[in-house]
Structure 1
Amino acid sequence: MQGLLTRRSRSWLRVLRSLGQRKTGFMALFGFASGLPFALFLGTLYAWLSEAGVDLETMGVFSLIGLAYAFQFLWSPVLDRVNLPGLKRLGRRKQWIVPAQVLLGIILVTMAGLDPAASLGWFSLLAAIGAFASATQDIAINAWRIDIADEDAPIEILSTVYQMGFRLASLVGGALGLIIAARIGWPQTYLFMGAVLLVIGIAGLFAPDTLANRASGEQEEDRAALTRPGQLLPRVRNLALLAVGLLWAWALGTVGLFMARSMTALPENRPDPTAFTATYGPLIVVATIVLPALIAAWLVKLQRDGRHVVAAGQEPDGGNTVANHLYRALIMPLVEFVGRMEWSLVLILALVLTYRICDAIWGTFAYPFYLGELQYSNDEVAVASKFFGVGAIMLGLALGGWLLTVLGRMPTLTLGAVLAAATNLLYADLAVGGARMQAVSDATGFTWAVLQFPGGSERLARLMITIGMENLAVGIAGAAYVAWLSSIVAKGHSAVQYALLASLTLLVGTLGRGALGQMIERQGYYEVFLFVTWIGGLAIVLCILEWIREARAGRRAGIVAPDRAATD
């Protein structure tokens, strides 16, 4: 017992010490900067457009800006390999983070001076550029978190603080934004939010960072590395680059063409975003992730078998400089990841696809369930979901961050999967009347507490405690998941590898919504909640398998529990 208390005391000391680090403070600031434009462009913007009298069909075009977040991995290689002119001195990641934040601030301030109805073209263009800048900022911030993590500011704490900042910004830009706009107006609200991002961008100048790529020196070093004995011959590298380049070019061209048609065509000729995502989403995943991963596996096998490689004593041939640069940007992150993970990559991808799928899909159907199926009012849902629910998520994130220091990464990840799966059963009970959740609310005294406030009722208490318990689980699972995802990527390729894995979570949620919606129509919410519980059960099994894999990898490396599977 004394040993357990001592371990807990050390964990709290470690958390407090980490929270006092300069890196942790900037991580919270960057998390807020990441969540604020996401909430403004994909949430409250539609409320402003509605008040301005913009029709629903036109507003549907604005939903396209969400594709920038789903497909952000398509331009992530640029952030790993390219230095911005005149900004390299800021640092490898800050040279992208700070300009993106300043650009976002300028865009929001500019939008504040426009009338959406009278200047819809400019308004939509600014929103599209803002979403692109926001998604780019997210890539750089995620890579920054991974690059600067160390013993004083471990990845677990940084990941938790990042999500807390993101969630707080979602509340400020979402529910609080609506309240502010009702009192001072939308232009003034967006002007204020833009000023906040400008201030954060200026503050970001003082954040720590790793050194930027040393343009000429690094290229010479990489060129020399590619000519060493055992490295693949230029013709093999170029063949792989051609194949992957064509696949990525097709994906970029497909998304770009769809965006152009949607923004320029007449309303009756605009393509359907849902149909596009359902049809081309899987193809883009196959073209940009699955097939390149197979090509990378082929390259790894060739190199390990000693086939088509530079032989000892062979006259070095560095190949074309441009081709080498593109190879390092597109192919090397995949080769490194596949070579390090080997067959474990199948397990990792399966876990990425299933761990957060319920959360990714459910968000679309939450309000129809609360407002339509259960017949709650808008005010009741706002109180339960936006205010009480966000507080529960913040508490869950804090608890998850503490559990990461006490239990470790994989135990917390597995616990998060168990809790996330189990909370679906709470909603299943609500779908059939909520008798069990009402009993829990009554027994804990929560119903009595809610009844003390104006507008409080037993029904509201039942909804609040269900959302609260679910969001608590989401917070714990989210803290563990981002920490785990950050731990398995390599620092040298963090922008590409993390963006690829994170985008899979977004895309699978988008692709699964249509099927889930049809299932709700046919079988009802109760059966759907039972079904997603089974999906959560699969994630639990995969977590256990990944736990075993990491434990074995740790033993092979001669350590008890590796803090990072990634290498510099």
Structure 2
Amino acid sequence: MAEAAAKGKPGWRAVLAALGHRKTAYMLLFGFAAGLPYALVLGTLYAWLSDSGEIDLETMGVFSLVGLAYAFKFLWSPALDRVDIPVLRKLGKRKQWIVTAQLLIGAALTSLSFIAPTNETIGIFSLLAGLAAFASATQDVVIDAWRVDVADEVATIDILSTVYQMGYRIAALVGGAFALFLAERTDWPTVYLTMGALMLVVGFAGLWAPDADATASETNGEEDKDDPYGLRKAGQLSPRLRAWSLAAVGALWGWALITVGVFMVRSLSSNPDTRPDSVEFISTMGPLIVIATVVIPSIIAAWLVRQERMGTNLLTEAAPAQSTADRAVDHLYRALVLPLTDLIGRLGWAMVIVIALVLTYRITDAIWGSFAYPFYLGELEYTKDEVAVASKFFGVGALLLGLALGGYLLTAIGRMLTLTLGAFFAAVTNLLYADLARGGAVMQSVADNTGFTWLVSALGGDERLSKLMMAIAGENIAVGVAGAAFVAYLSSIVSKGYSAVQYALLSSLTLLVGTLGRGALGQMIEERGYYDVFILTTLIGMFAVVLCIIEWMRQARLGKAAGVVAPEAVAASKAS
């Protein structure tokens, strides 16, 4: 009834119907649960270490493994798609991992509250922080998959994606600004005990969340224990070819896992001299890991798809598994290789466009983010309090407004138009900062003529602060629209049966270019100043606009009107 009623409604009515849905409420809760540990472990924890007075900056480098867990979370995503937790499997395919991860995060944060960070305790302290980061990254993978799995015609993937980001941003405010506020009035152990308890409550609340069981789609309706995935029927690729392909992909992923694992262990060393440089690791090994786990496996997957379509190396008759080893190969092939062959099989040559779009869409804010505070505090010489008010409080409000606007636009004008507009505005709002780098005359004029300067002054600020807040508002609203559209787009092109692996791979790629480009951007700032950098990032952002238009045209040519569920999502839904 609800689904039927939602069809054909104007954008705002569809949004209201979706917001009242049980799945949407849990999506907000899960978004909050995803954002809180990231803010606490990757940001706020450094404030605690600094306040302790016993931990030097070099020792703080041990926490570089936290960022690594998020950057390479796709490496263990196949296990999350295939492995069940004893007893907890009854909760549901995704919920078993979501609840477990949230309870682990809560336990780790609570445990941190009982340990004072000193040179003697830094080992166990960093181990708990690493556990929280690993569980948080794991939670992210499964929540992304849950969002794809449970989406329907009322709680659409567009609305769920927007609400997820709203919860995430609210959590960033709670785990950042509010945590600092609370620490100032109590102490750090109280902060982490409170936040840990909050995560435990969220974990228990997740027990009642809806879940989508993808068993039917994974087994293709087959119950034969010797061929549970339908891989050994006539017309399927030969087991020998699949085994060789799995061996190649497995070796590459195994190398990547070992490389990352060794780095994490070395980062936990109590001897600062033996700890590796995380920036150097990301810049040198990052591209190699992506080549080993994405590029080469994608080429292998494309070759397998071609073999199947050409009718070569196929079984002429059913060949049931004869041993435990055969079943293990089928199981691992389903977990590691099939997600890639499914994605490439559906997208074909368009996979090149998708990867290019994924790499470039968030590049402007991904690169710029690391230099925001040096720009505010150093170049523009604002105080820490002014930056906190403008960026953390007012900025988060503007970002939430942008997300809300993005959610409405997704429903009202369609996904691809919203995606394109988001890319355009996210790029051109870099010009607002370019104006600030030249003195901010335009921003000051806009603030003065709109009455914003008067409002800021009435609240205790000054004219100078108003132009910074105006620029941050413009950028954050644009980033909110772009973020809502981009998450919805990524969610639409993955299959329900392989959502954990496919989304984890694509979302990890969004961080790649930004991470690798920060060094070059920092050097450019030193040599040419901030103004030229903002002009450059604006031009770079236009590449994403062009790619959005190309992808929009591709989807239109496939007979799908702009704004309707992407053809890849329709295909995935039918396959499921």
Query: TM-score normalised to the size of structure 1?
Result: 0.95
Equivalent residue letter for 2:568: A
Instruction: Quickly say closer, same or farther: Cα 1:510–1:218, change in 2 above 3 A.
Output: farther
Deviations 1:104-140 (A, max 9, x none): 1111111111111142111110000110000000001
* Corresponding position of 1:407: 413
Does 2:187 match 1:182?
Answer: no
For the residue of structure 1 that corresponds to 2:230, the secondary structure is: helix
Deviates more, 1:501-510 or 1:395-404: 501-510
How far apart are the structure 2 equivalents of 1:385 and 1:179? 15
Distance 1:219 1:438, change over 3 A: farther
Matched, 1:330 2:336: yes
- Alpha-carbon distance change, 300 to 212 in structure 1, aligned in 2, over 3 angstroms: closer
Q: Which residue of 2 aligns with 1:49?
A: 49
Matched, 1:140 2:148: no
CA contact (8 A) 2:241 2:313 kept: yes
Per-residue deviation, residues 394-435 of structure 1 (Å, max 9, x unmatched): 000000000001000000000101100110111111111111
* Structure 2 counterpart of 1:101: 102
Q: Give the direction of change, closer, same or farther, for the CA distance of 1:443–1:115 in structure 2 (3 Å limit).
A: same
CA shift for structure 1 position 551? 1.1
Shift of 1:65: 1.3
Q: SS at the partner of 1:225?
A: coil
- Residue 565, structure 1, aligned to residue 568, structure 2: yes
Greater CA drift, 101-110 or 383-392: 101-110
- Kindly indicate whether the alpha-carbon contact (under 8 Å) linking 2:426 and 2:541 is maintained by their aligned counterparts in 1: yes
Equivalent in the alignment of 1:500: 505
Which residues in structure 2 correspond to 1:275-290 (within 5 Å)? Answer: 275-290=280-295
Please name the residue that 2:126 is paired with: 124
Contact 2:493 2:566 in 1 (8 A): no
Corresponding position of 2:521: 516
Contact 1:418 1:536 in 2 (8 A): yes
CA shift in 2, pair 1:203/1:411, >3 Å: same
1:210-255 per-residue CA deviation (whole Å, 9 max, x = no partner) reads 1264899767385461112221001100110010001001111111
- Specify which of 246, 271, 279 is matched with residue 241 of structure 1: 246
Take 1:9 and 1:439, find their aligned partners in 2: how far apart are those partners? 41
Secondary structure of 1:565's aligned partner: helix
Structure 1: 5+ residue stretches without partners: 1-6
- Once the two structures are TM-superposed, the CA of residue 510 in structure 1 deviates from its matched residue by 1.2
Mapping for residues 31-430 of structure 1, pairs under 5 Å: 31-53=31-53, 54-117=55-118, 118-211=120-213, 213=215, 220=225, 222-223=227-228, 225-264=230-269, 266-311=271-316, 313=317, 320-430=326-436
Percentage identity across paired residues of the two chains:
62
Instruction: Describe the superposition over 1:334-377 as per-residue Cα deviations: whole angstroms up to 9, x where unpaired.
Output: 00001100000000000000000111111110000000011110
- Partners of 2:194 and 2:544 in 1: CA distance: 42
| Alignment check: 8 A CA contact 1:551 1:560 kept | no
Contact 1:248 1:287 in 2 (8 A): yes
Instruction: Please give the per-residue CA displacement for 1:534-564, whole angstroms capped at 9, x wherever unaligned.
Output: 1111110000000011111235xx9994455
Structure 1 residues 82 and 219, CA gap change in structure 2 (3 angstroms):
farther
Taking the aligned partners of 1:195 and 1:184, their CA distance within structure 2 comes to 16
Looking at structure 1, the residues matched to 84 and 179 of structure 2 have their Cα atoms a distance apart, in angstroms, of: 35
Give the counterpart letter for 1:350 in structure 2. Answer: A
CA contact under 8 A between 1:73 and 1:496: conserved in structure 2?
yes
> Aligned partners of 1:443 and 1:222: how far apart in 2?
70
Take 2:318 and 2:10, find their aligned partners in 1: how far apart are those partners? 55
Q: Indicate conservation of the 8 Å contact 1:83/1:212, yes or no.
A: no
Kept after mapping to 2: 8 A contact 1:234/1:318: no
Task: Tell me which amino acid in the other structure corresponds to 1:202.
Answer: F
- Matched residue SS, 2:225: helix
8 A contact 2:359–2:512 mirrored in 1? no
Distance in structure 2 (CA, Å) of the matches to 1:316 and 1:360 = 49
Distance 1:287 1:345 in 2: 17
The aligned counterpart of 2:14 is 14
SS at match of 2:568: coil
Q: What one-letter code is carried by the residue in structure 1 that aligns with 2:82?
A: R
Amino acid at match of 1:279: T
Is residue 490 of structure 2 the alignment partner of residue 489 of structure 1?
no
SS at match of 2:558: helix
C-alpha distance in structure 1 between counterparts of 2:469 and 2:563, whole Å: 42
Q: Residues 92 and 316 (structure 1 numbering): CA distance in 2 closer, same or farther, change over 3 Å?
A: closer
Alpha carbons of structure 1 residues 112 and 224: separation in structure 2 relative to 1, 3 Å: closer
Q: Which aligned segments of 4 or more residues in structure 1 are displaced greater than 3 angstroms?
A: 212-219, 221-224, 313-319, 558-564
**Structure 1 pair 255–560 and aligned structure 2 pair: CA distance change class (3 A):** closer
Change (3 A) 1:429 1:8: farther
> Per the alignment, do residues 10 and 315 of structure 1 end up closer, same or farther by CA in structure 2, a change over 3 Å counting?
closer
Aligned to 2:4: none
Q: CA shift at 1:201, angstroms?
A: 0.6
Hey, what's the Cα distance between the residues in 1 that align with 2:319 and 2:379? 73
CA contact (8 A) 1:181 1:188 kept: yes
Separation of aligned partners in 2, 1:285 and 1:32: 29
How many residues get paired? 558
For residue 438 of structure 2, what is the amino acid of its counterpart?
A: V
Equivalent residues of 2:401, 2:480 under 8 A apart: yes
CA distance in 1, matches of 2:210, 2:227: 26
Match of residue 530 from structure 2: 525
Separation (CA, whole Å) in 1 of partners of 2:478 and 2:80: 33
CA distance in 2 between counterparts of 1:263 and 1:88 reads 33
Question: Quick one: structure 1 residues 334 and 224, their matched pair in 2 at CA, closer, same or farther if it must change by over 3 Å?
Answer: closer
Q: In structure 2, what is the equivalent of residue 4 of structure 1?
A: none
Displacement of 1:61 in angstroms is 1.0
Q: Which of 20-29 and 255-264 deviates more? A: 255-264
Q: How do 1:453-472 residues align onto structure 2 when only pairs under 5 Å count?
A: 453-454=459-460, 456-472=461-477
Compute the displacement of 1:63 (Å): 2.4
Note closer, same or farther for the CA distance 1:259–1:495 as it changes in structure 2 (3 Å cut). same
After superposition, what is the alpha-carbon deviation per residue over 1:441-483, rounded to whole angstroms, capped at 9, x for unaligned? Answer: 11111111111122x1111000000001100000000000000
Separation of aligned partners in 1, 2:458 and 2:114: 44
Task: Summarize the Cα distance change of 1:310–1:173 in structure 2 as closer, same or farther, 3 Å threshold.
Answer: same
One-letter amino acid of the counterpart of residue 33, structure 1: A
Alignment TM-score, normalising by the size of structure 2:
0.94
Closer, same or farther in 2 for the Cα pair 1:297/1:258, shift >3 Å? Answer: same
Quote the residue 2:3 is aligned against: none
The answer as to whether partners of 2:367 and 2:517 remain within 8 angstroms in 1 is: yes
Report the CA distance shift for 1:348/1:212 in structure 2 as closer, same or farther (over 3 A): closer
